[in-house]
Amino acid sequence: MKKEKARQWQNEPLLLDAKDLQRILRINKNHIYRLFKQASFPSIQIGKRYVIEKNNFREWLNQQSRKNEFISSYKTLTPDEQKLYEKAFWEAVKFLKDREAEQHDRREKVAKLFSETG
C-alpha cells in the first residue's frame, strides 16, 4: 500500500470505504474486510461494497479505546475489585440500552405526530 498523507478529519468523505480505512488505520485490506464482517463494526453493505459512516467510525474507535482501557485496568485489580468493576460495567451497559430505547420511542412519537398533522 502506498502511504498517503494524513487528512484533516473534516476533509474525510461522509462514507468511508475499505481504502479510506486502510489509509486511516494503516492496516492491510484483509484486516479491513474482517472488520466489515464483524457484527460490532457498524458498517453498511451497498451491493458488494462495504462502507461506514464517518461519525459511526469515530464512535467505534472511541468505544474500542474505552474497551482497551477497561481491559488494561481490569487486569491490575484484586478479585473483589474486579467484581465491583464488572457490576459497574453492566449497570452502565443497561443504562445505555435503556437510554437508547427511550430515544427510539421519542423518535417514533415525533414521526407519528408529524404523520398525523401532515
Q: Quick one: which H or E segment has residue 100?
A: helix 79-117
**pLDDT in the model for residue 108:** 80
- Residue 54's region, left for phi above 0, alpha for psi from -120 to 50, else beta, is alpha
91 lies in the same domain as 110 = yes
51 lies in the same domain as 85 = no
68 lies in the same domain as 87 = no
Give the total number of structural domains in the chain. Answer: 2
Residue 99 belongs to domain spanning: 79-118
Task: For residue 6, report the phi and psi dihedrals to the nearest 5 degrees.
Answer: -65, 150
Is residue 104 scored above 80 in pLDDT?
no
**pLDDT in the model for residue 30:** 96
31 lies in the same domain as 89 = no
The amino acid present at 51, given as its one-letter code, is V
Question: How confident is the model over 17-73, as pLDDT tens digits?
Answer: 999 999 999 999 999 999 999 988 999 999 999 999 999 999 999 988 888 888 888
72 lies in the same domain as 88 = no
87 lies in the same domain as 67 = no
- Specify the pTM: 0.60
18 lies in the same domain as 53 = yes
